[in-house]
Amino acid sequence: MSGVRVLVGTRKGAFVLTSDGKRENWDVAGPFFGGWEIYHVKGSPVDPDRLYASQSSSWFGQLIQRSNDGGKTWQPAGNKFVYDGVPGTHQWYDGTPHPWEFKRVWHLEPSLTDPDVVYAGVEDAALFRSADGGQTWQELSGLRGHGTGPHWSPGAGGMCLHTILLDPINPERIYIAISAAGAFRTDDGGKTWQPINRGLYSKYIPDPTAEVGHCVHRIAMHASRPDVLFMQKHWDVMRSDDAGANWREVSGDLPTDFGFVIDVHAHEPETVYVVPIKSDSEHYPLDGKLRVYRSRTGGNQWEPLSSGLPQQDCYVNVLRDAMAVDALDPCGVYFGTTGGQVYGSADAGDHWTPLVRDLPAVVSVEVQTL
Amino acid sequence: MMISQRSNVMIRVVLPQHLRTLAGVGREVTLDVAGPVTQRAVLDAVEARYPMLRGTIRDQVTQQRRPLVRFFACQEDISQEPPDAPVPEAVVSGKEPFFIIGAIAGG
């Protein structure tokens, strides 16, 4: 392990931050695709020089960019995302039927085994797959077609498929999450899907324990134990020990359990990180203090981590795709804010420093351990 | 209608900044457009020469202009013209360019 590359998507371009294994000094490259919204940048686990980026704008739509040299140069890939068959309708904010319309790609998840295979989570919610390095895209339409699709409705940010977790042990198993439909799982490579929302309680929907309709913000897993999932829901931090079949709340002693990000330590499957946000109507930290909370017990008991983070007058948000960990020892933890800071900790969260302070609003953060 | 029967004319097209960057070109490109020279024919030629621009100006399936993109020519907004209507003679003759504009919107 010689270093770390942090891939940052922002409202006005992408940035690539690099450092050696000490993670003390950072080189900042970018902006790439200046002026465009970069929802996500992620590298292939099997070929770290192969990166994919989601580039979009309200004016010119969606593009997919691909790099074969670790982000130094980029080439446009395919951007034709067409829903399979007749798209049908989902629920609009007011409960009326609304046609499925492609808007943008929120999340790109490269395959764990093949650098040319990559999944895309899109708005309006659907999952696409490319087997040719992003040149062409095919919808895995069993997700939208499994039965509850007409009842899905958008969250405040749009009806986005924002989380894709590939099971490193069972290649046929994929978890996804949609705001505000909930979490789903396939056990046959994406042909058929089932909702996995039992145990979630959402008091803001008519039936708080409904099969679908929950505003899941993010799900995380540890690669060694893919049946154990951690979820940051709109409100509530949740845990499942049976691949999503049942969930239980592990918010415990958090000062607020609203938030967006959640991630798991690279070497300690029971160590989990969240960034509590005051409420769904005030998207900023409690009391103007930016704090990461860490649980070393798989939830319920949480400790605030604040060393190096602003502890007064801080009113940024940390969006759902904006936290990641590296695989070095000790584990590095990184997150980006809507204020344009990317913070990193080279000691599993005990101490934090800004890698860069004044980027555009950060939408996503991914880390490659090189 | 004589205009629409012409074939293989050189059309000047001015692209907005983001699409210039994406296509790796300057402010204005010159394209060989097979007649009849319509809005659709101009856009077909743009996308054939610069395939990375597919989907950025009009939807790839419906061919509808993206809502925040406009087409100007000869000091007029021709965005609402039917896609198969002839473009102005001054564009066909190369005297005036066909402007593809990103609407002034947002912050």
Q: What is the pLDDT of residues A24-47, one digit of tens each?
A: 999 999 999 999 999 999 999 999
CATH of the domain at B15: 3.10.20.30
CATH of the domain at A291: 2.130.10.10
Interface test with B, best of A33, A56, A60 (most B CBs within 10 A): A60
Nearest CA-CA distance, residue B35 and chain A, Å: 27
Q: For residues A114-134, give the mean pLDDT.
A: 98
Nearest CA-CA distance, residue B51 and chain A, Å: 9
Q: For residues A288-305, give the mean pLDDT.
A: 98
Of B55, B61, B68, the CB nearest to A59: B68
A60/B103 touch (CB, cutoff 8 Å), yes or no: no
Q: State both tokens at B45.
A: 């030629």
The residue written with tokens 């704090």 in the block is: A291
B22/A63 touch (CB, cutoff 8 Å), yes or no: yes
Please give the pLDDT value at position B35.
81
> Which range marks the domain in which residue B85 is found?
3-97
Nearest CA-CA distance, residue B84 and chain A, Å: 22
Instruction: Summarize pLDDT for A260-292 with one digit per residue, the tens.
Output: 999 999 999 999 999 999 999 999 999 999 999
A59/B22 touch (CB, cutoff 8 Å), yes or no: no
Is position B8 within any domain? yes
* Residues of chain A neighbouring B56 (CB-CB closer than 8 A): 60-61, 63
B56/A35 touch (CB, cutoff 8 Å), yes or no: no
Please give the pLDDT value at position A287.
96
Is position B19 within any domain? yes
Is position B107 within any domain? no
Please give the pLDDT value at position A157.
84
Q: pTM for this one?
A: 0.96
The residue written with tokens 């790839």 in the block is: B60
Query: What is d(CA A206, CA A153) in angstroms, rounded to the nearest whole number?
Result: 13
Is position A260 within any domain? yes
Query: What is d(CA A176, CA A120) in angstroms, rounded to the nearest whole number?
Result: 11
Q: Are A340 and A358 in contact (CB under 8 A)?
A: yes
A80/B56 touch (CB, cutoff 8 Å), yes or no: no
Helix (H) or strand (E) holding B18: helix B17-23
* Residues of chain B neighbouring A36 (CB-CB closer than 8 A): 18
Contacts A–B by Cβ distance under 8 A: 44
B103/A57 touch (CB, cutoff 8 Å), yes or no: no
Is position A33 within any domain? no
Nearest chain A alpha carbon to B54: A79
* Closest among A326, A272, A313, A269 to A6, alpha carbons compared: A326
Give ∠ CA A188-A40-A282 in degrees, rounded to 5.
105
How many helices and strands (H and E) does chain B possess? 3, 5
Nearest CA-CA distance, residue A9 and chain B, Å: 18
Query: What is d(CA A163, CA A175) in angstroms, rounded to the nearest whole number?
Result: 8
The number of angstroms, rounded, from the C-alpha of A286 to the middle of its chain's C-alpha atoms is 22
Quick check: B2 pLDDT over 70? Answer: no
Is position B105 within any domain? no
Is position B73 within any domain? yes
Quick check: B107 pLDDT over 70? Answer: no
Determine what percent of chain A is predicted with pLDDT higher than 70.
100
| Chain B: residues touching A (Cβ < 8 Å) | 16-19, 22, 52, 54-57, 59-61, 66, 68-69, 102-103, 105-106
> Which range marks the domain in which residue A117 is found?
84-361
A60/B52 touch (CB, cutoff 8 Å), yes or no: no
Is position A14 within any domain? no
Helix (H) or strand (E) holding B42: helix B39-49
A62/B57 touch (CB, cutoff 8 Å), yes or no: no
B18/A59 touch (CB, cutoff 8 Å), yes or no: yes
Is position B7 within any domain? yes
Nearest CA-CA distance, residue B99 and chain A, Å: 15
Is position A192 within any domain? yes
Q: Using DSSP, state whether B3 is helix, strand or coil.
A: helix
Is position A19 within any domain? no
A82/B61 touch (CB, cutoff 8 Å), yes or no: yes
* Residues of chain B neighbouring A60 (CB-CB closer than 8 A): 18-19, 22, 56-57, 66, 69, 102
Cα separations in angstroms, B4 against A137, A355, B8: 37, 59, 11
Least trusted range by pLDDT, from A38-47, A200-209, A262-271, A330-339: A200-209
Is position B20 within any domain? yes
Is position A335 within any domain? yes
Nearest CA-CA distance, residue A117 and chain B, Å: 21
Please give the pLDDT value at position A146.
83
Instruction: Summarize pLDDT for A130-176 with one digit per residue, the tens.
Output: 999 999 999 999 999 888 888 898 888 889 999 999 999 999 999 99
How many domains does the structure of chain A reveal?
1
Please give the pLDDT value at position A269.
98
Cα separations in angstroms, A129 against A70, A190, A285, A297, A365: 22, 10, 36, 36, 22
Of A35, A62, A76, the CB nearest to B18: A35
A57/B18 touch (CB, cutoff 8 Å), yes or no: yes
Task: Return the bridge partners of A138, or none.
Answer: A129
How many domains does the structure of chain B reveal?
1
Is position B59 within any domain? yes
Instruction: Summarize pLDDT for B4-61 with one digit per residue, the tens.
Output: 455 689 999 999 999 999 999 999 999 999 889 999 999 999 999 999 999 999 999 9
Query: What is d(CA A135, CA B60) in angstroms, rounded to the nearest whole number?
Result: 14
A76/B52 touch (CB, cutoff 8 Å), yes or no: yes
Please give the pLDDT value at position A1.
56
* Residues of chain B neighbouring A82 (CB-CB closer than 8 A): 60-61
